[in-house]
Structure 1
Amino acid sequence: MRPRLTTLLCLVLCLSQRTGTQKETLSRPIIWARPSFMVPEGKQVAIWCQGTRAADEYQLHFEGSLSASQRPKPPGLGNKVKFLIPAMTSLTAGKYHCFYRSGELWSESSDLLNLVVTGMFDTPTLSVHPGPMVISGELVTFYCRLETGTSTFFLLKEGRSSHVQHRYGNAQAKFSMGPVTTAHRGTYRCFGSYNNHVWSFPSEPVELLITGEVESSAIIVFYPLFETDSWDPDLLTTETGFHKDLALWDHAAQNLLRISLAFLVLMALVCLLAEDRLRRKRTFQKKADRASRWECRRRWRNTTLRKDQET
């Protein structure tokens, strides 16, 4: 019985450990900055990190090193925390990511949040050619110029679908796009910079108007350096809910798996104990039967011996 029990327990424990290793992972947290990832020098900004309600602690890392840690308040009821930067400077601009802990288990890292400080250099000028009003299908070029000189320029389209394009240049950079469609319509600004996280004042806005019928469905492919959409909490309602539901489902599945494994172990032990008890009962019964037969034979022999002696 013992070798079989030991083998069963080892099998169950190995399965439990393997399954736990595969399933016990926490969903990736979401990180964003409010009011924006672009913060004027000296202004306040809040970095939000959102995990699950099971989170016990959150950690914020800046440029790969631990910057701050915080526990949700009240514990077990909130699924996000806020890390406040009272005054934005060039020293606080850079790459941020966050983690959260539930019990002894840490989550994966969030996506990178590129926090930018603005207002550090002179104001660039932005112009568009052939003009701010073009016909659908034409080619358009934006020119961003900074008289004091810089190394990198950034062009942003305002709105919920804004992305950042960047170009290199000493005093001027051009951003070509087209054939344009109504998707390119909107308000644009540009910035100058000497690195990816310290920018100039924004240029004056330039509004691009598209007239005429759409002649081509082709649009310029943006290669975003910073995807602001992923940091806007208003755009993350569905994604946040999905992560939250997925995390809750993971915890429920893990608990159900543990309960199932415990039930299987318990049932296996009950079966083995019942089998062992039945085997012991049968062995005892056989011994009792042998003892009874032996006693009968002994009495028969004694009776026979007495009769022989009397005769």
Structure 2
Amino acid sequence: MPSTLPALLCLGLYLSLRVGAQNETLSKPLIWAETSFMVPNGASVFVWCQGSRRAIEYQLHFEGVFVLERLKAPGLMNKVKFSIQPMNSSTAGKYTCFYRTGELWSEPSDPLDLVITGMYDRPTLSVHPGPEVLPGENVTFFCHLETATTTFFLHKEGPASRPWRRVSNSPAAFSMGPVTPAHRGMYRCFGSYNEHMWSFPSEPVTLLVTGDAGVTDLASTGQPSSPDSWEPHWSTTKKGLRKDLIPWDYTAENLFRVGLGLLVLVALMCLLAHTGLLRKKKKRVSSQERRRRFRWQGALDE
């Protein structure tokens, strides 16, 4: 028993410290661009970083290097915005952000790819067999650019849309189908010499999918069947934002810590009580032993 109680006490203290250490890991923030990750040359763009209401500082990094800092009072907001202006070839690339609560820094956000447009000639975009098709048909978009490049992007306008890349000689062909009503929309194409510097956008081509022909729209993305699709991170939009990025259920954490504290307290009280009983027992035994020795000594004297 004497060895068991100290062991329980040490175990409770260890678990409490371990839970506290695990809670010090902060979730990564969200990052997105307002209003699009594609920014015309010379324009400005706002980059938002969403962390925790407990955050007191945010940092924005470009290509892994710290560039901007924002301080705020804890609890007022769980997000801040950074202004990048003007947008040019030296500011296009990958951005990440961090936030700090106390002395702890969060993990980096997913990277945000900011693309600058309007750097080269304007390509031309066409669609075959035509801009108006029936559900179930196949279509092909052709992007042509006189400037010598072999990288092309096709983009459908929309807040959650992503571009698709084709590495090909001009004209680049983007095959799509069988089409559904989800493929309806306005398309533009770009030429590029790297992933973050694109040409002027082409004139838009609107694809119309008429009739239903028994085809059901099952949330199709309208993605061309291109093997070279380029998928920027979903953090380029505000889709899926959370109200607050608190990585731990603090109610459950507090209950767990209270339970551990009670366990430690009970173990300590039991240990003290057990120690007190041992002392009393020793005193009683010692007193009885002295009386026994006294009577024995008296008998010898007689």
TM-score normalised according to structure 2 size: 0.87
Structure 2 match to 1:199: 198
Provide the secondary structure at the position in 1 that maps to 2:263: helix
Contact 1:167 1:173 in 2 (8 A): yes
What is the 5 A alignment of 1:146-185? Answer: 146-185=145-184
Measured after TM superposition, the shift of residue 83 of structure 1 is: 1.7
Write 1 or 2 for the structure with the bigger share of helix: 1
Structure 1 match to 2:237: 232
CA distance in 2, matches of 1:228, 1:280: 69
Deviation by residue 1:230-280 (Cα, 9 ceiling, x = unmatched): 4322x33xx413xx2x62643444344333323322221111011101111
**Are 1:27 and 2:20 an aligned pair?**
no
What is the number of residues matched between the two proteins?
296
Measured after TM superposition, the shift of residue 177 of structure 1 is: 0.3
Contact 1:37 1:228 in 2 (8 A): no
Contact 1:128 1:142 in 2 (8 A): yes
Measured after TM superposition, the shift of residue 113 of structure 1 is: 0.7
Structure 2 match to 1:117: 116
Give the unaligned 5+ runs of structure 2: none
CA distance in 2, matches of 1:26, 1:212: 50
Identity %: 55
Q: Which has the higher contact order (CA 8 A, sep 6+)?
A: 2
Structure 2 match to 1:282: 281
What is the 5 A alignment of 1:36-47? Answer: 36-47=36-47
CA distance in 2, matches of 1:120, 1:24: 45
**Are 1:64 and 2:64 an aligned pair?**
yes
Q: Cα gap change, 1:232/1:14 in structure 2, threshold over 3 Å: closer, same or farther? A: same
Measured after TM superposition, the shift of residue 162 of structure 1 is: 1.6
* Farther off after superposition, 93-102 or 104-113: 104-113
Measured after TM superposition, the shift of residue 221 of structure 1 is: 4.3
Contact 1:148 1:171 in 2 (8 A): no
Contact 1:24 1:254 in 2 (8 A): no
Measured after TM superposition, the shift of residue 20 of structure 1 is: 4.1
Structure 1 match to 2:267: 268
Letter in 2 for 1:207: T
**Are 1:107 and 2:106 an aligned pair?**
yes
Give the unaligned 5+ runs of structure 1: 306-311
CA distance in 2, matches of 1:20, 1:29: 21
CA distance in 2, matches of 1:271, 1:214: 78
Which has more radius of gyration? Answer: 1
Q: Provide the alpha-carbon RMSD of the alignment.
A: 2.6
* Farther off after superposition, 30-39 or 102-111: 102-111
Structure 2 match to 1:52: 52
Q: Cα gap change, 1:85/1:2 in structure 2, threshold over 3 Å: closer, same or farther? A: farther
Letter in 1 for 2:170: A
TM-score normalised according to structure 1 size: 0.84
CA distance in 2, matches of 1:214, 1:154: 30
CA distance in 2, matches of 1:84, 1:252: 37
